[in-house]
Amino acid sequence: RGLKKYFPLRKGVFRRAVGHVQAVDDVSFFVNERETLGLVGESGCGKSTTGRTLLHLLEPTAGEVFFDGRNVGQILKKDPKELRRQMQIIFQDPYGSLNPRMTVHNIVGEAVRYHGLAGQADLDDYVCDILAKCGLRPEHRFRYPHEFSGGQRQRIGIARALALKPRFVVCDEPVSALDVSIQSQVLNLLKDLQREMKLTYLFISHDLSVVRHISDRIAVMYLGRLVELAAKADFFSNPLHPYTQALLSAIPLPDPTKKRERILLEGDVPSPINPPPGCRFHTRCPRAMERCRVEVPPFIDVGGDHFVACFLHSGA
Ligand code: SF4
Ligand code: MG
């Protein structure tokens, strides 16, 4: 609720603060239990920062995060262990996020032991069980990450996160580094595990076709702010925000006999250091009006749990 993450920008030998990068600026949303909320946007729009700030891996500059109605920041101060177990993250780069000097057994088993989910006697069975669930061969558990393919390494990253039996998982571009042929295997694995382990996902990706495959609802970010959020069917059939419309116009329609006009946006995404005032999209919006340059459009429900931040729809 009202989540903000600003990074100080320092310059010179004295590292004087000369401004802020407004990576996430006043973002509010909820994720329903056992659903997948897809979070899309171009690189640098604040998706990963949102995911990390939600888990308090980054301290929010402002705003609050609630998990099961409990304030995450407050609980982490009192009893960090339990919440850390329940809220996990899967990273984009399966190689960089796995310790190359640890065997798969230790990578997965370390946190299991720390959280007391298995004792010395049953740890090995526990690790074998989660590896098998993630489509890895338990007999390979004493190998090192470099001995596995990219897809298998991502399965190890998934096994590590899910070994703790979390309830909420931030999946931060978990298939972006993989070949397209491997992507759907890993997406299907994540879907199967979600059903089996009753998981709730925030699924971050820059790729709309990936998000379409896995999400129940989809949210779009632009320059640190949410611009639209809707149930998947509604999102694809009735996109309301001009930015969402432009993004959707770039992906092929499932029906090849239908044609859609490609909406080309002019210019680049402005810098998050001095973002444009008013609607942050106004510098590139084909439908910008005078007020868009000065007023910030509120992010509101325009009916049917379809949220949008644009004066064309949330006028008043
Ligand atoms: Fe475009 Fe204005 Fe809507 Fe922003 S508020 S998306 S500039 S029409
Ligand atoms: Mg990212």
Contacts of 310 (CB under 8 A, 6+ apart): 227, 228, 240, 241, 242, 279, 297
Q: Which residues contact 275 (CB under 8 A, 6 or more apart)?
A: 22, 25, 223, 224
Assigned domain for 131 exists: yes
Half-sphere exposure (CA, 13 Å, Cβ side) for 168? 20
* Domain, as residue range, for 123: 3-8+27-215
Is the CB–ligand 1 distance for residue 297 below 6 Å?
Answer: yes
Total domains present in the chain: 2
So what's the pLDDT on residue 79? 85
Residue 221, domain member (yes or no): no
- Give ion ligand 2 contacts, CB < 5 A: 48
Distance 43 CA to ligand 2 centre (A): 6
Any domain includes 231: no
Please tell me whether residues 41 and 151 are part of one structural domain: yes
300 alpha carbon – ligand 1 mean position (Å) = 14
Per-residue pLDDT tens digits for 192-207: 999 999 999 999 999 9
Q: Are residues 67 and 197 in the same domain?
A: yes
> Do 276 and 167 share a structural domain?
no
User: Is 229 near ligand 1, meaning CB less than 6 Å away?
Assistant: no
Give the per-residue pLDDT at 213.
Answer: 94
Same domain, 211 and 276: no
Is 48 found in the same domain as 175? yes
Its ipTM equals 0.98
Asked if 79 and 153 touch (Cβ cutoff 8 Å), the reply is no
Each residue's pLDDT, cut to its tens digit, for the chain (316 residues) gives 999 999 988 888 778 877 889 999 999 999 999 999 999 999 899 999 999 999 999 999 999 999 999 999 999 998 888 889 999 999 988 778 899 999 999 999 999 999 999 999 999 999 999 999 999 999 999 999 999 999 999 999 999 999 999 999 999 999 999 999 999 999 999 999 999 999 999 999 999 999 999 999 999 999 999 999 999 999 999 999 999 999 999 887 767 677 778 888 888 889 888 899 999 999 999 999 999 999 999 999 999 999 999 999 976 6
Verify that 286 and 159 share a domain, yes or no: no
pTM of the model: 0.94
**39 within domain boundaries:** yes
Is residue 20 situated within a structural domain? no
**Ligand 1 site, residue 227, Cβ cutoff 6 A:** no
Q: In this structure, what CATH number is given to the domain that contains residue 90?
A: 3.40.50.300
Give the Cα-Cα-Cα angle 289, 291, 295 (nearest 5 degrees).
135
**Mind listing the pLDDT tens digit for each residue in 43-67?**
899 999 999 999 999 999 999 999 9
pLDDT digits (tens, 9 = 90+) for 83-124: 899 999 999 887 788 999 999 999 999 999 999 999 999 999
